[in-house]
Structure 1
Amino acid sequence: MKKSNSGKVYAFPLNFEQGFALCKFMDYTDVASFDGALVYVLNIYMKTIDELPTTEELTKSKVLFGPVPLNKHINVKGKGAWKLVGAIKVSDDPIPVFKDTNQIVSLQKAVDWSTVSGWRKRHFNEGGEECEYEEVRYLEMLELYDMRNVEIRTTMHFLLLNNLKVEDYYNLKDENYKRIYLQMINTSFDRSTAKKYLKVLS
């Protein structure tokens, strides 16, 4: 892990003027140059970008989702830029664990990922033995996100936490929105809650 880049906290806008969220950046590009730029989205919602939490609140904050790999380092200038708002001290954290499956074709067709076999835990370049989906449900996949897709998934998640319907805001027939929705529901929620939210796609 590159400590000099890790622990930086960025604020970014949610879609539909729903407010702002925060994420922590962790740089593992010394271990995995292709997909080692990771963000953890924090479970902190802000109505305005001026409602920044204290460093202590940031440090104690739970993770909404992540880590997810970015396709490039965070842009802080120009259109679509995120704002660097602080930093959290990081230690020598272990390399994150992700999930993947060798049944890629089945996964591309599946709505409920627990119906897909061949799951395993993995680090960036190392895979483990096969396991049941429930053993890896809350782990992210090593699928590259761009900054906009992080904003979309975060907005979707906060909509659900506020008892709003994602389908009232996003057209889930759109392939990108559907893909992000599936990633969120199949990863961030327990099995029974996921089944309820997946019904909108049937």
Structure 2
Amino acid sequence: MRSNRDRAILALAVSTAARASELLGLRGADLDWGDQLAQVRRKGSGAQQWLPASAESFVWLRLYLEDLGPLGPDAPVWWTLRRRERSGDVLERRPLTYDALRAVLRRANTALGTNWTMHDLRHTSALRMVRSQRLSLRDVQVVLGHAHLTTTQIYLVEDDQEILRRVHQYLADQAEPSQEAVASESTVGYDSNDLAVLLGGVPR
């Protein structure tokens, strides 16, 4: 990413799982700086929804907006500079379009030798949330804006390397008894001296 704007878009996309069109529709009033939330308008329904975003994304947003200058509550968040058609030497500020955003990714893909898309960022964010033990599938469904839980379940894809890691950890746990098991084994039964007293014998 060659600018704070592009870094902010990338960080927002991978932390909120918002679609490209939803991110491009952000206005100044859609940013809650205190709670680090971004309000999007859902594709299809148009319903407004606040989404939690990463602290990193808001750092890049602040740096980008410092470069951009004052932003009104109804103004689009994302802007780009384009040359005027009649005067090629004059630059004017225009809202960032989907085609312009795709051009940003094309440049990055060319430099990295990759083929990432904005949907890949949404997919990555969804997979990270599904694999987190802190979030339920219902939590992920709400963030993704899915009407049906079955749509969210497509992200329940297990990574083979992660499965191998967990099984290795399971086998290691089986080979080494836990501290609680060792402690319980050491306390099972009675001390021979206590038994002797209890049964009227002579302690050894």
Q: TM-score range by the shorter chain?
A: under 0.3
TM-score where L is the length of structure 1? 0.26
Q: Which has the higher helix share?
A: 2
Greater share of strand: 1
